[in-house]
A = this chain, B = another copy of it.
Amino acid sequence: MMPVKTIEWVGDADGAARLIDQTLLPNEVRYLDARDVETMWEAVKMLRVRGAPAIGIAAAFGMYLAVRDATPICRDEFLSEVDRAAAYLNTARPTAVNLSWATRRIQSLVAANEDASVSELKELMLEEAIAMIEEDNAVCRAIGEYGAALINDGDTWLTHCNAGGLATAQFGTATAPIYTALEQGKRIHVYADETRPLLQGARLTAWELQQAGIPVTVITDNMAATVMAQGRIHGVIVGTDRMAANGDFANKIGTLGVAILAKEFNVPFYVAAPTSSIDMTLASGDLIPIEERRPEEVTEGFGKRTAPYGVNVYNPAFDVTPHRYLSGIITEKGLIRPPFDMGLQEVFDQERAS
């Protein structure tokens, strides 16, 4: 069974970017057609589309939508509209590197095509965004292959948040090895941390694995320790929103805790990291900006007040896991083992050389 499409382009140049509104899952499968950049910005900000790779693609479509109706009097004016769109889209979520990776990629494309007319540039931008979906699928499938080799028949793995198909165009990063292992005929059971405050694990990961016919058990985040203590877990795999050059990585809040527990219980801990999520300009994880979100996500997360009014709340959306807790980094170029700084450098050197 194929995972659902998280984001795709529908129609011709006048069409729309269609995405599943993930805030409504698992109770309702409703699609949203984004026809302007503001709608796309809001969708990213409100987590209707989320997950590092998926918001990269969303941003690329957003770039096109921002200038689709532009009628600049000269190329420079168009370029400045493109730059403005990039700056605007990058404000939607500060932590994910894929936003700026995607907007920069579209900016570079425009800059590189010096002789193209404005209408040709618009066409190129849409083509590039659509191409990014195919690339994302290829990246996820490659991560799936490298990661599946780590999974044994009969294993039980734990994951946190959703780095699944819903976090990418279709196949997922952290879930890709699980889907591939299933295709290889391996039996696998997944424990999904519900992932407070927004419950992406319970709402999204559990839903998409269930759709794919994979046995999944939902636990609250604070149960991960006891299931590991009971010896139920053979491996942990998570995604990342941004990884530094030394392998430190930001991921959904709670990932650091799971990593520490995995170390304590000698459970292998892997991160699925497409190279687009790796920011080689950052030496270490403490340089990754961490998005803080509204207190109401914690105190009124379910349409019901669950903490006293006036109470202080700390609500960081991500934490940073130091690379020392990692058993390996699964990229589309292969599995990287420690020392991670050298391994990551090698991957990027190869990329430049190719």
Contacts and interface: CB of A to CB of B under 8 A. Distances in A.
A306 B302 contact: yes
A313 B254 contact: no
Interface string A224-254: 1111010000000000000000000000011
Given A218-B313, A219-B313, A313-B219, A225 B308 contact: no
Contacts of A302: 301-304, 306
Nearest to A27: B305
Contact of A224 (B194, B210, B257): B257
B27 A312 contact: no
Contacts of A315: 219-220, 223
A196 B222 contact: yes
Interface string A64-102: 000000000000000000000000000000000000000
Contacts of A308: 26, 203, 206-207, 210
B223 A222 contact: no
A202 interface: yes
A302 B301 CA distance: 9
A319 interface: yes
Given A223-B253, A260-B261, A264-B260, A218 B303 contact: no
Interface in A163-221: 191, 193-197, 199, 202-203, 206-207, 210, 215-221
A194 B307 contact: yes
A283 interface: no
Nearest to A308: B26
Nearest to A318: B226
A347 interface: no
Given A202-B307, A206-B308, A311-B210, A298 B218 contact: yes
A226 B307 contact: no
Nearest to A211: B308
Given A253-B226, A308-B206, A196 B220 contact: yes
A182 to B, nearest CB: 17
A303 B191 CA distance: 23
B222 A222 contact: yes
A15 interface: no
A264 B305 CA distance: 33
Contacts of A195: 222
A30 to B, nearest CB: 15
21 contacts: A26-B305, A191-B314, A199-B306, A203-B307, A207-B308, A210-B310, A215-B312, A217-B312, A217-B313, A218-B298, A218-B307, A221-B221, A221-B222, A223-B253, A223-B314, A223-B315, A226-B253, A257-B257, A257-B261, A260-B261, A303-B304
Interface of A: 26-27, 160, 191, 193-197, 199, 202-203, 206-207, 210, 215-227, 229, 253-254, 256-257, 260-261, 263-264, 298-299, 301-308, 310-316, 319-320
Given A194-B307, A206-B311, A220-B254, 20 more contacts: A26-B305, A26-B307, A196-B221, A197-B220, A203-B306, A217-B314, A221-B221, A222-B222, A222-B254, A222-B257, A224-B257, A226-B257, A226-B320, A229-B256, A229-B319, A257-B261, A260-B264, A302-B302, A303-B303, A304-B304
